[in-house]
A and B are shown apart, each in its own frame.
Chain A
Amino acid sequence: MLVFIVLSVVMLIGAVGVVTLRQPVHAALSLVGTLLTLAIAYVQLHAHFLAAIQVIVYAGAIMVLFLFVIMLLNLGGESPTPRLAWIRPAAWAVGALTAVAIVVTVYADPRALPDAATLAAVFTGSGVEQIADQLFGPYVLTFQLVGVLLLTGIVGAVGLVQRKAAVSASAQGRAVGAAGRTPPQAPPMDAGATAEKGR
């Protein structure tokens, strides 16, 4: 129980940091903290394999991708004046209401946990074998579809980021126009666009 309290406090501090910190890098690092405490939570819940995957894939690969894009785009903080000022208190009210509603619903129908013997019998080892049995058994169609989805995602991402000479020329013209509207942060992409245009 003590572990749970410490975990949840750290997790919620990290989550609030993601939502409130102004600098994107700080928000991303705050999310890394939340993801790592989630990995510890998975260990507490007898999901050892998922804990390892959480650290390697989520806190590792996905967050590195995020930090890489923040670095590539040289993103600064948000401007402090929002266009829709009323949305901030409204969002906090809706969020608090949702959380309270879910908590009330869950506690209205409490269930006793299975005893320790049952848990030990079901969650034996790291869980890799059992997850593999499920993944290549009843979930094999989902597994295939996820494979297709990942392939589509890779092709889509490459297609989006790749640029042709004509497109880059017009994009550069528009980028210069947009730079006139937002003066700071000289676009680092323009150098590449010019180089490609010259080819």
Chain B
Amino acid sequence: MGGPVPTEAWVALSAALFAIGAIGVLTRRSAILVFLSVELMLNAANLALVAFARQWAVAGTQVAMSGQTVVFIVLAIAAAEVAVGLGILVAIFRDRVSTDVDTLSEVRL
């Protein structure tokens, strides 16, 4: 039972989180719930990056820490994405009093 958890287990957990997030993006109809699922997918990718950063500790501090640095950058991008996405959501809601993505089909030919 003791000892460190292998990287494979962490990546498997990350894969499960990513798949659940992808299912949410495909099945949810309220735009804000689609956004929450996208956040879940981003976090699954972050977990895999941190797990691989630990795995690559043998290659030295530089390589190991670049994994964690990328997670930091992904966090900043997620913040920007949420700001713009929620702005779009508010604009859509003002226009049609609903955020149901099923009804947003004007662009369809």
Contact = CB atoms under 8 A, between A and B. Distances in A.
Interface residues of A, number: 98
Contacts of B96: 174-175, 178
Nearest to B64: A122
A69 B32 contact: yes
A46 B54 contact: yes
A193 B95 CA distance: 11
Contacts of A189: 93-94, 97
A16 interface: yes
B38 to A, nearest CB: 11
Given A111-B55, A160-B84, A182-B98, A38 B43 contact: yes
Nearest to B67: A47
Describe B's contact surface by its main secondary structure.
helix
Interface residues of B, number: 81
B87 A156 contact: yes
A19 to B, nearest CB: 4
Interface of A: 1-2, 4, 8, 11-12, 15-16, 18-19, 24, 27-28, 31, 34-35, 38, 41-42, 44-47, 49-50, 53-54, 57-58, 61-62, 65-66, 69-70, 72-73, 75, 78-79, 82-84, 87-88, 90-92, 94-96, 98-99, 102-103, 106-107, 110-111, 113-114, 116, 118-119, 122-123, 127, 130-131, 133-135, 138-139, 142-143, 146, 149-150, 152-154, 156-158, 160-161, 163, 171, 174-175, 178-179, 182, 185, 187, 189, 193
Interface of B: 1-13, 15-24, 26-30, 32-33, 35-37, 39-40, 43, 46-47, 50-51, 53-55, 57-58, 60-62, 64-66, 68-69, 71-73, 75-84, 86-91, 93-100, 102
